[in-house]
Amino acid sequence: MKNISYLLIAFIFFCSCSVKNADISLKTVEKTLDIAQQQTLLMAKAMEKLPGRLPKSISPDGQLETSSEYWWTSGFFPGQLWYMYEYSGDERLKNQAELFLERVENQQYVTDNHDVGFIVFCSFGNAYRITSNEAYLPIIENAAKSLSTRYSPVTKTICSWDRASWNNQWQYAVIIDNMMNLELLEWSAHKFNEPRFSDIAQSHANTTMANHFRPDGSSFHVVSYDTITGLPELYHTSQGFSHESAWARGQAWGLYGYTLMYRYTNNKNYLDQAQKIADFLINHPRLPADKIPYWDFDAPDIPNALRDASAGAIMCSALLELHQYVQPQKGREYLDVAKKQLVSLCSDTYLAKVGTNHNFILKHALGHQPNGTEVDVPLSYADYYFVEALMRYREQFGE
């Protein structure tokens, strides 16, 4: 009897420890935001000396890798600075945010790819949200106009990549990542009273919903359309393991994209699509216990495959929004996964110590495995969506 009691006490103790481990405290979130704030200031100091450049990653020889404003990730660091200013009220961060905004301002006019949405909305969108400075508005509106030029009424989508830029292998490439650019259009439609921006965004989201997804809720990376018939011609990947595989960051982009489309439109189809993606992800037998995905759910070397902290951070931020829109039981499931992701990303495994990691916040992200570039490195967008997830958690669960 005595032995059974000891066993019972040990069992209860074990259970309470595991529940505790699965949970994230506000204290940990704020401690991590403090670390993020210090890293962001150090990064800004280092980048000040490199005019026109934006942080990107760490190169194979261990150096800080930067990009020009034309690389798709250029808006993330200005956006991160704004989040950190919002968190701390530290005027040094605001000054730096203004400096780095200038570096991406000309992107408002770029029409030769779809990344203007990422670049301008993560930077100037946050700048306006936080400061209400009206000087930012024409820049955002111009960016929405630029992105709209890439819409085709034949394919009913926005073109991601120009045909010539990929050796003509795709007539009209649309990548799942493109869902993220729709926020620029939806926000601008409301702000500037331009319903056509929203029409384009919804048309793109509807066509993508019809053609990018498999019955299990996973998505292809690239769908190319025939420019005459407007119908899909090829279902491919660029950054995933194979055409048929579930590239982790692509799944996270889709999850985030349909969640934000529901926020702006209240269209239940988008909510259902976001839930389908979330259910595919959270119930996937190859989603690891710490909930940070392998770079591709079908990577052949799982469980030894590399993780992608950027996919984990994007998914976490999206789930922290989506859990609020769904039935309570589902919401608890989504929130539980998001919290586990925060526990993991706030741990020493993924979170860099202040002054290390070339001042990036997270370690172990993966840019482009098939090309062998940005493999197991920090990435500016992993940091951006991680900081966003921490801020979302704090807003919802702060005192």
Nearer to ligand GLY, 73 or 146 (CB): 73
Q: How many CA atoms lie within 13 A of 157 on its CB side?
A: 31
DSSP state of 359: G
Q: How far is the CB of 180 from ligand GLY (least distance, A)?
A: 8
Instruction: Pick the catalytic residue from 23, 112, 115, 376.
Output: 115
Nearer to ligand GLY, 72 or 386 (CB): 72
Q: How far is the CB of 249 from ligand GLY (least distance, A)?
A: 5
Q: Are 239 and 220 in contact (CB under 8 A)?
A: no
Q: How far is the CB of 349 from ligand GLY (least distance, A)?
A: 22
Sign of the Cα pseudo-torsion (8, 12, 17, 19, in order): positive
Count residues contacting ligand GLY (CB under 6 A)? Answer: 5
Closest CA to 131 of 92, 80, 97, 182: 97
- 213 conformational bin, left if phi > 0, alpha if psi -120 to 50, beta if neither: beta
Structure tokens at 311: 């996919």
**The only residue of 65, 69, 177, 388 in contact with ligand GLY, by rule CB under 6 A:** 177
Strand-pairing partners, residue 54, are 67
Contact between 212 and ligand GLY (CB under 6 A)?
no
Structure tokens at 325: 């829109």
SS3 27: helix
Binders of ligand GLY in range 312-371 (CB under 6 A): 367
**The only residue of 72, 170, 241, 334 in contact with ligand GLY, by rule CB under 6 A:** 72
**Calpha distance 370→316 (Å, rounded):** 25
Look up 177 and say whether it is catalytic: yes
DSSP string covering 141-168:
HHHHHHHHTTEETTTTEE-SB-GGGGTT
Nearer to ligand GLY, 141 or 177 (CB): 177
x/- track of binding to ligand GLY for residues 107-146 (CB under 6 A): ----------------------------------------
Nearer to ligand GLY, 232 or 257 (CB): 257
Q: How far is the CB of 243 from ligand GLY (least distance, A)?
A: 17
Closest CA to 360 of 31, 37, 40, 28: 40
Structure tokens at 48: 């000040």
Q: How far is the CB of 88 from ligand GLY (least distance, A)?
A: 28
Closest residue to bound ligand GLY by CB: 177
Q: Are 137 and 125 in contact (CB under 8 A)?
A: no
Closest CA to 383 of 24, 42, 26: 42
Q: How far is the CB of 281 from ligand GLY (least distance, A)?
A: 16
x/- track of binding to ligand GLY for residues 233-252 (CB under 6 A): ------x---------x---
Q: Are 317 and 288 in contact (CB under 8 A)?
A: no
Instruction: Pick the catalytic residue from 61, 90, 162, 177.
Output: 177
Residues binding ligand GLY (CB under 6 A)? 72, 177, 239, 249, 367
Give the catalytic positions in this structure: 115, 177
